[in-house]
Structure 1
Amino acid sequence: MAGQLKLNRGECQSRRFPPLAVDSQRVSVRYSVDDYVVDPAKAAGHLVGAFIPLSDRHHYRFDLQGTFGSGRHEFCGLADGFFIMFSETAYHAPQSRFISSPESLQIFIASQGDGEFVPAGGKPLSFEAPSAALVIEPADAPPSEVTFAGQARYIHMVVHRKALQALYAGGEQELPAALQTLLTGETQRMVARALPMGTATLRCVDDVHGCLLEGRRRRLWLHSKAIEIICQALEALDHSEGFQSVEVTRLTANGVMKAQRLLADNFVTPPSLEDLATEVGLSRSALCTGFRQILGQSVFDHIHDLRMQRALALLNQRGDSITQIAYAVGYNRASSFSVAVHRHFGATPSELRRRGTASAN
C-alpha cells in the first residue's frame, strides 16, 4: 500500500497504557495559523498561572495546573500548517487523548518522561524517553491515541503537506519516498515510525528547551531550529541504518539528561564528577563522553555556562555588588569571577552592567 512503512525500533508488541473510551477528548490539528490565536483576557479565565504573549499573536507561552498535574507549554505558529509546540509537564497520572492531523507530517521527540502513540488499527509506538517518532497521516485517517506520562519533556511539530511543499519547492525528489507520496496526496495509510535518537537530534531538543532569546529573535531562532529538526528527522528516516554509529544508548542519554537537571540546581557547588556519575547511574567516562556527544561540551564547560547565564541575569538586576554576585554563582574571589566573565562575554562585569542599564533605558 502506498506510503506504508513498517515499525521497528520503538515498536511495542502490546499496549502499556489503557485504550481510550470512545467519548474521550479529541484534538484536531487545523491548517490555518490564525486558528491558534488566543485572547489573553479569555485565557486568564481558563488557565491557572501565566499566559505570556511572545513575538506575535501566533506565539505564546502558558502555564497549566490541575488534577492532571502542572507544566509549562510554548506554542509557535510559524506559518499556515507549520507549528512547533514544546512542553515540560509533570503528570500525576497518564494523560491520553485522540489526535488527528490530516495530510501532515508530525514529529515527536521526547527527552524525558514516558508515553506512547497508537495509530488506529496499528501497533503502539513507544514515547519512553529518549525517543523520536515520525508520523505521516493521510487526509481521511481515523484519529490516533497519544499518551504522555511522568515528568514529560517533549517537542511536537506539525508540518502540513502544503508547508512541506513550500520548504522543498523544486527539491521534492530529495524527500524520502513516503513523503513524496504525501506531497502528491496519494498516501493511503498512516505511516508511524520510530527514529534513531542521534546526538544531533538530542542537541536540538536541549537547544529548544534552553533557549534564552525573547521576542522576534526567539521566533526566528525557533523557525531555524524547527527546520533543523525536520532535516534531522528526514535524514534518519532515509538512512536509519547509517545512524547507528552515532546513536547514544538510552541509558547514557537518560544519565546525561538527569545530570543536566542536577547541575542546573547545583551549579554553585556542583558535585565531583565521580559523585555526579554515581548519582545518575553512569561511569565517569560514560558521563563525560555522553556530555560531549549530546551537549557538545564537557561537564566543566556546562557548569561554567550555567554560572555565566546566572551572573548575567544578576548583573542586569543591579541589586547586588559584583563581589556578591561572584559568591552567588560559585566563585570565591571577585578577581577570578571578573576574569571568567571577560573570557566568556568579552567584557568585564562592570561593562556588562552598564550595557544592561543602557538597554533598559
Structure 2
Amino acid sequence: MQSRQFEAQRRMNQADHIIRGDELPAMSRPGLRLPNEDDDRLLYGRVKWAQLRDGLSLHWSDCEELQDFVTENVVGPRVSFVLFLQGQSRVSYGDLSLTLGQSASQRAPEGVAVSMNEPVLFRRQARRGSHIRKLVVSLTPDWFEGRGEGVGSSDGAIRRFMDSHLTPRIWKPSARLLTLAEQMLNPPGYDTLLQGLYLESRALDIACEALISLGDGSASAEQSLRPQEYRRLQRLLALLDSGEADDWTLEHIARDVGVNATTLQRQFRLFKGMTVFEYQRARRLQLAREALEREGASVNEAAWRAGYNSPANFATAFKRQFGISPRQVRARL
C-alpha cells in the first residue's frame, strides 16, 4: 500500500498526466462517487496535496475534469483560504453551498475564506470538461496553538471571522499574490526540503493577505454591510426559504425588499457567496432530494417540487448539484 501511495505522489509531482481515484488522499477515497465504477479516470493535469507543517496544509490543482464525479470527506475545524485562478466549482461545507470561482466571461480571480469551528462534511461536484486552476491553504487550531498565539490576540474583525462558522468572506487577491500563486502551481525543481520551504512561505503569504483583507473590513460582509442592509438580507433569506418568491423575477424580489436588483445581487453575493437564483435553485433541489430520500417521492413529483416542468431537465440539474441522478437516489431506498 505504501509503495502505491508513493508512486501516486511521485506521478503528481511530474508533468500532466491522467489522475485516477487511487491518487486522491486516503480520506477522500471512500467518498468518491463515480457515474461508472469501472472508469476511475478523474482528471488530466497536475494536483498536489501537502501537509507543510502541523496545522498548515496546501492543495492545488491545474487540470481538466474528465467526468462528472463527486468527492466527499469530513474536515475538522480550520480556516480555509480558497483562491481560484480559472474555472468554477460547486462545493458545500455542511449545509452551506457555494459556487467558487468566476464564470468564463468574468475571468477575474477571487478568493473565498471560510471558517469551520466544528467538523463538517465537505462535498465537491466535478463537471466534465471544466478546467480548474486553484489553490487552497488551510490553517487548523494546532497551527495557531503551535505559535503560542490564540485567536483572541487577533484584530477584532479577524477574530469575529474566525469565531464564525460557515460564514464565507470574499476577498480580492493582489497582483503580487496572483504571481505567488502562479509560482506555487509551477514550483522550481528544488529538493524536498527546499520545495517545502518554498511552498510554505507562499502559503503563509496567501493566508496573511486574506486575513489582512478581512481585518480592514473591506471583504467582511458584517463590516461592509450597514446594520439595516444586514437585517434586510436576513429578511430576504426568510422570504426565499419560505418559497413565496420561487416564481418571482429578481426585479420583483428587489422591489419587495426595497432596493434595486443590482444592489441586491451584489450584497447577497457578498453575504452568501452566490447569486439569489443560485441560492433558490440549490434550495429547491435540496428539498427535492429530501422528498426522494425521506418520503419516497417519484422523480416526477420531485421535479415538480423543485419547480421543473421537465423531469429530464430536473435530472440534469439534480446530477450537477449532487453528482448522482434522482433515480440513483431512489434506488438506495
State TM-score, norm by structure 1: 0.46
